[in-house]
Structure 1
Amino acid sequence: MAQLGYLLVAMLLRAFSVLPYPLVARLGSALGAAAYALPGRRKHVVLVNLRLCFPEKTEREHHDLAKEHFRQVIRSYLERGIQWFGSAKTIKNIVQIESRIDLEDKDAPPTIFLGFHFVGIEIGCMLYSMQLPVAALYTRMSNTRLCDLARRQRGRFGADMIERSTSARKILGILRSGKPVMLAADMDHGINNSVFVPFFGVPACTLTSVSRLARLGHARVVPFVTEVLPDFRGYKLTIFEPLNDFPSGSDTNDARRMNAFLEAQILRFPEQYYWVHRRFKHRPPGVPAVY
């Protein structure tokens, strides 16, 4: 059954890669709206997250935002076909890039590109890898064959794909060699090497790995965000200025700053953040579970 499921997913993604982007995007949006009409665990997770992070919104507003989020998420799954199997020309045609740093600076210091789990994160990383060398950290999926497919296709333009569980020594070696490292640290990966800091006022288990890698690798930390543009016009990758005084010497303060930066970006397009993830899976001692 797992083998059949993998083959079906791979075939569908290859089929979507040859269809016009606006058609795939519209189909994904429609399927997302239909999926929201069905009860499910992910719908419950999304609504819990939205209620916690936006308590000022009404229940109707929570549901409207959750439905739009489902549109964005399912759409992003279908668009993986273009991202994984589409040509470099196709991807360049649907992604704009705005960088506030000089990407061609040959004297640039070691750089950590700090990403966040918006629905467009993947295509932004792939566009960057077409232009400049980069290593990207990924988290292994439970389906081995699908994980291997994702790793190959995400790295097909030259990105060095590094499993998140690899040693810090290897990542530091990459940084010191002059190759930037892309990673995201806004998911709940457990209480080890994490601190509880506010995320929209709610204690969130937040990784401290960015601070440690930046400190040990003498690296600047440059946030980036890929947003979905309206009217099915594609995406925009924005690379921001390096975070000032980062790392600060306090992993907790640095984690707070990362979450504060992320909050500001979410408020620009809240429907595009990955609310389907259990961001508050782990809770501080004595605080009840929410999912």
Structure 2
Amino acid sequence: MALSKATFLITALRLAGKLPLRGAQLIGRFFGMISWVSRSQLRTVTEINLKICFPELTDEQRQRMARSSLRHTGQTMMEIPLIWEWPVERCLGLIREIEGEELLTEAKKDGRGLLLLAPHLGNWELTGLYFSSRYRMAALYSPPHIKEFEDYMVKVRGRMGSELVRGDRRGLARLITLLREGEVAGILPDQSPRGKGNAYAPFFGLEVRTMTLVSKLLQKSGAKPLMTYSERLKDGQGFRLVIRECEAGIDDDDPVVATSALNRSVENCVREAPEQYQWEYKRMRHRPPGELNPYKPGKVC
């Protein structure tokens, strides 16, 4: 059964991968509007997140942002097959401009490792492909439940030589080794981590569980951290790759200081293109014990 499901998913991705960018984005926007009109769970989560993170906006402004966010998330999902199936040169041709490239040059000039932090903003698959085409790179990932689909995903993501590393003890040791050797590693830093060993830090003013992995990697490797994302341009024109400095303190020994700096770094990027952030994700679901779960009214964490 798992194999047939994997076969179906891979076939669907390969068919979608034959679309042009404008066509894929148009379909993605349509799916986003269906989520909006049907008052789906995605819309509910998006509205909750925006109410928490942008209290200064009017209800009408947040509604517009929520509607736009669902359209952008739909586009991201329809763009992924293109990034996975198109020839690499065609994918990289979608990047029309790069902002902050001098930060890369500065970070690499002394031979230090480089830790790239790419939040769920814009098209993160294109971001990863760009850096794997430029550097020897390893990227942390969480394996899907279907083994055959994982094989496909690792193959397409690693076709430029990028090393896909599982988020377990062995994988983290591999990342540290590569960073110490002056190589590049990539992480999605805005997931809500499970288990112990993490910290609670403010994200858009709300205390949420935040990964301490980033600060630990930086402390053990001496690598330089940078934020990065690919912003979607209007009317199917492509993307703008953006590179930003991280907030001071992201490598601090105090986990609260470090995770607070990490969340501020993510927040700074999100505020530059808020409609393109994946607000449909329950980022705030893990809060300090006794605090209310914003997605389940009346239930405490």
Equivalent position of 2:21 in the other structure: 21
Question: Which range is displaced more, 210-219 or 260-269?
Answer: 260-269
Unaligned runs of 5+ in 2: 296-301
1:185-218 superposed Cα distances (whole Å, 9 cap, x missing partner): 2111125222111111111111111111111111
Q: Secondary structure at the match of 2:231?
A: strand
Whether the 8 Å contact between 2:119 and 2:190 is mirrored in structure 1 is yes
Q: Deviations over 1:134-163 (max 9, x none)?
A: 000011223333333222211111100001
Q: CA deviation at 1:246?
A: 4.5
CA displacement 1:87-110 (0-9 Å, x = unmatched): 112112101333132449464212
Q: Give the corresponding residue for 1:91.
A: 91
> Secondary structure at 2:272's aligned position in 1?
coil
Of 113, 116, 119 in structure 2, the residue corresponding to residue 113 of structure 1 is 116
Q: Deviations over 1:69-120 (max 9, x none)?
A: 1111111111111100101121121013331324494642122111211131
Aligned length, in residue pairs: 291
Is residue 284 of structure 1 aligned with residue 288 of structure 2?
yes
Alignment of structure 1 residues 1-291 onto 2, 5 Å? 3-95=3-95, 96-98=97-99, 99-103=101-105, 105=108, 107-167=110-170, 168-241=172-245, 244=248, 246-291=250-295
Contact 1:100 1:241 in 2 (8 A): no
- CA drift of 1:221 comes to 1.1
SS at match of 1:282: coil
Distance 1:61 1:148, change over 3 A: farther
Give structure 1 stretches of 5+ with no counterpart. none
CA distance in 1, matches of 2:213, 2:104: 25
Tell me, what secondary structure is at the counterpart of 1:249? coil
Cα distance in 2 for partners of 1:29, 1:13 equals 17
Contact (CA 8 Å) 2:16, 2:81: kept in 1 or not? yes
Q: CA deviation at 1:59?
A: 2.9
Q: TM-score, normalised by structure 2?
A: 0.89
SS of residue matched to 2:291: coil
CA RMSD, 1 decimal = 2.1
2:18 maps to a residue whose letter is V
Distance 1:212 1:56 in 2: 35
Return the alpha-carbon distance in structure 2 between the equivalents of residues 33 and 280 of structure 1.
24
1:97 partner letter: I
Secondary structure of the residue aligned to 2:263 is: helix
Does the 8 A contact of 1:221 with 1:243 survive in 2? no
What percentage of residue pairs aligned between the two structures are identical? 25
CA-to-aligned-CA distance 1:37-83 (integer Å, 9 cap, x gap): 11332222211111111122233333322221111111111111110
**TM-score of the two chains, using structure 1 as the length reference:** 0.92
1:44 to 1:243, Cα distance in 2 relative to 1, 3 A: closer
CA deviation after TM superposition for structure 1 residue 2, in Å: 5.1
Q: 1:241, 1:280 → 2: CA distance?
A: 25
Preserved CA contact (<8 Å) 1:228 1:235: yes
